[in-house]
Structure 1
Amino acid sequence: MLVVDVEATCWAGRPPDGETSEIIEIGLCELDVESGRRMGKHSILVRPERSSVSEFCTSLTTLTPEQVAGGVTYAEACRLLRKDFRSRDRVWASYGDYDRKQFERQGAYPFGPRHLNVKTLFALTRNLPREVGLAEALRIAGLPLEGTHHRGDDDAWNIAALLAGILLSARR
């Protein structure tokens, strides 16, 4: 299974005229469903074409305009997902629907039809009255938040830990 988390351009308020939110990082963690083992984390930096990285975005994600300027195009990132990670052939998961919808908005959807929303699954399996953010879910599960929150590769790694716990406990 492929666990995915994206970071996108963002602003403290409304986007500047002519700009729209677009993916600047695709974080990935391959999860062995049988063992629950996380098998490496990856980051694909994506060069924005219709927006810029704001100071607010850098403070949230730690990604600078210079870093993402060295990234690949969105089309190339989608090719890498399909070729290197077999994204069309695997179930993929994200924490909430934001990531799936962001890929759909940008076009060239690199995944197959099987998406798993870990945010909803976590709330249901824990009998929570509402869905909670990733940091709160990790706290509830007794797991550490590893790495930098709001960096795609670290968030994918943490989401995979949550999902592994859900899958393994379902087998008991």
Structure 2
Amino acid sequence: MDEPRGGGTDPDGRFVLHRFNGDEVYRFRSAEMWLGCATDDGPDADAVLWFELAADDDAIQRCEDTADAGMAPTAEVGIGLAVAEADADRLVGRTFVMPGASDGEDSCMSLLYYYEHEPLRDNRITVISRHGDRFRLRWTAVCEDVNFYDGSKPATRVEIDGEFLFRDARA
């Protein structure tokens, strides 16, 4: 997921971290949603729809306490689907909800990475539209503050809006 997709064009979108001390705003470096087979250690489902996003290193706006680090966050969420739901033609208009892990629990199905990985909670992903193999999404979630992992600061609200390249990796 590190290189831009879609015939050499960067995906269109914004990745915003609403922190206690201001907003960090990023363009997308890569954004992909892909349908894969469920595994024995994954959700109780027939397939998993993954949403993966990497922010561009050149941020539009950073907060003062993290500006020198030059981080570029990534986010990923996997949603278990039944076979009947695992159809790209039926995704537009759907909203997927992934609560994420409980407090003190780790999850490989819903993560944000900044300095370290941490669970993304209260994920809500709405598929707005489709143009060929690109889907426009609106994704919101919350996580611990990206610079203070001790709970001493209010949660960071995550807001993602943009185009994701779709592929079916089940074959």
TM score, norm. by length of structure 2: 0.28
Higher RCO (C-alpha under 8 Å, 6+ residues apart): 1
User: Which structure shows the bigger proportion of residues in strand conformation?
Assistant: 2
User: Which structure shows the bigger proportion of residues in helix conformation?
Assistant: 1
